[in-house]
């Protein structure tokens, strides 16, 4: 599932390749499950002749600022992905469109050709993504309901520690709450908790100040590293639990220590006890 680093990689690719260019052709899928609140023809008409001014992201959501509203907004869901023809953009294992597949892909929900011939597509194989055309994407859900962005708007250590002291739920559940911090999903939550040596089920208010400071630092380090390498998981540090997330139980090792793994959850064995 695309999380903050993957969506940020897409935003940066658009920023580096598409700004200042005019949309001369648009193809919007006739898929009312993904394309929300507008017909494909009206969506296409609203894009034609517009210039892409900037690309923005909050949490796992991305939107394009054009030279006049409305603006296309993308909620990536389980398998949303941005592709720019001829440009390397991070591909996700479950949403990858192969280089020799048809273009635009049969999974494309949003396709535009720019005035210099560059082509951009947003694909979604699983149809959990949402593509909207909005006057102000930040003023309506889901973006209006998001908490501070984990990369662009990090809490201070004191703010983070104080907020955790008031929470009576498990720390992983809180990190996954997009209204608390936006952009963190399963793999980042598992990674930062593993690196901080904090059990995912530990109640937030039971964390010591030292635990909170360590976790705060791990969130920063993991997200910044993932963004630095363009969300290319082959470049993630070898001691990250990310590399073992999908291995079978008994076959996953980190730092020569065997761990138990599952596809969506990391089960922690006795080698990494709760910090209580």
What are residue 41's phi and psi, to 5 degrees? -65, -40
> In terms of CATH architecture, what is 4-145?
Alpha-Beta Barrel (3.20)
Residue among 199, 49, 47 nearest 132 (CA):
47
85: annotated active-site residue = no
pLDDT at position 262, please?
42
What CATH topology corresponds to 157-268? Helicase, Ruva Protein; domain 3 (1.10.8)
Q: Residue 173: enclosing H or E segment and its boundaries?
A: helix 171-176
Catalytic residue among 50, 58, 60, 91: 60
Catalytic residue among 2, 104, 137, 142: 2
The full set of domain ranges for the chain reads 4-145, 157-268
Q: Are 92 and 79 in contact (CB under 8 A)?
A: yes
pLDDT at position 269, please?
44
Residue 159: CB atoms within 10 A of its CB come to 12
pLDDT tens track, the chain, 276 positions: 899 999 999 999 999 999 999 999 999 999 999 999 999 999 999 999 999 999 999 999 999 999 999 999 999 999 999 999 988 776 555 556 666 678 999 999 999 999 999 999 999 999 999 999 999 999 999 999 999 999 999 999 999 999 999 999 999 999 999 999 999 999 999 999 999 999 999 999 999 999 999 999 999 999 999 999 999 999 999 999 998 876 655 555 566 555 554 433 444 443 444 333
Residue among 11, 128, 121, 114 nearest 61 (CA):
11
pLDDT at position 247, please?
60
154: annotated active-site residue = no
Model pTM above 0.85: yes
pLDDT at position 94, please?
53
3: annotated active-site residue = yes
């Amino acid at each position: 599932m695309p999380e903050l680093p993957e969506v940020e990689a897409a935003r940066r690719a658009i920023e580096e390749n598409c700004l200042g260019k005019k949309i001369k052709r648009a193809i919007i899928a006739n898929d009312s499950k993904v394309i929300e609140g507008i017909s494909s023809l009206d969506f296409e008409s609203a894009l034609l002749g517009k210039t892409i001014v900037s690309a923005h992201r909050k949490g796992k959501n991305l939107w394009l600022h054009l030279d006049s509203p409305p603006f296309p907004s993308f909620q990536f869901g389980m398998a949303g992905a941005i592709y720019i023809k001829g440009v390397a953009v991070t591909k996700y294992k479950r949403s990858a469109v192969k280089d020799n597949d048809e273009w635009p892909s049969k999974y494309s929900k949003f396709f535009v050709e720019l005035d210099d011939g560059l082509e951009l597509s947003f694909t979604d194989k699983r149809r959990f993504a949402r593509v909207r055309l909005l006057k102000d994407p930040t003023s309506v859900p889901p973006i209006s309901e998001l908490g501070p962005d984990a990369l662009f708007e990090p809490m201070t250590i004191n703010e983070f520690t104080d907020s955790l002291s008031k929470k009576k739920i498990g720390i992983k559940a809180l990190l996954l709450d997009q209204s608390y911090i936006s952009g963190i999903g399963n793999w980042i939550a598992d990674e930062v908790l593993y690196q901080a040596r904090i059990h995912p089920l530990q109640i937030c208010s039971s964390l010591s100040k030292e635990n909170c400071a360590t976790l705060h630092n791990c969130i920063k380090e993991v997200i910044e590293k993932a963004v630095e390498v363009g969300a290319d998981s082959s470049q993630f540090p070898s001691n990250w639990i990310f590399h073992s997330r999908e291995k079978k139980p008994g076959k996953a090792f980190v730092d020569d220590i065997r761990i138990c793994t599952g596809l969506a959850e990391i089960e922690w064995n006795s080698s990494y006890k709760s910090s209580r």
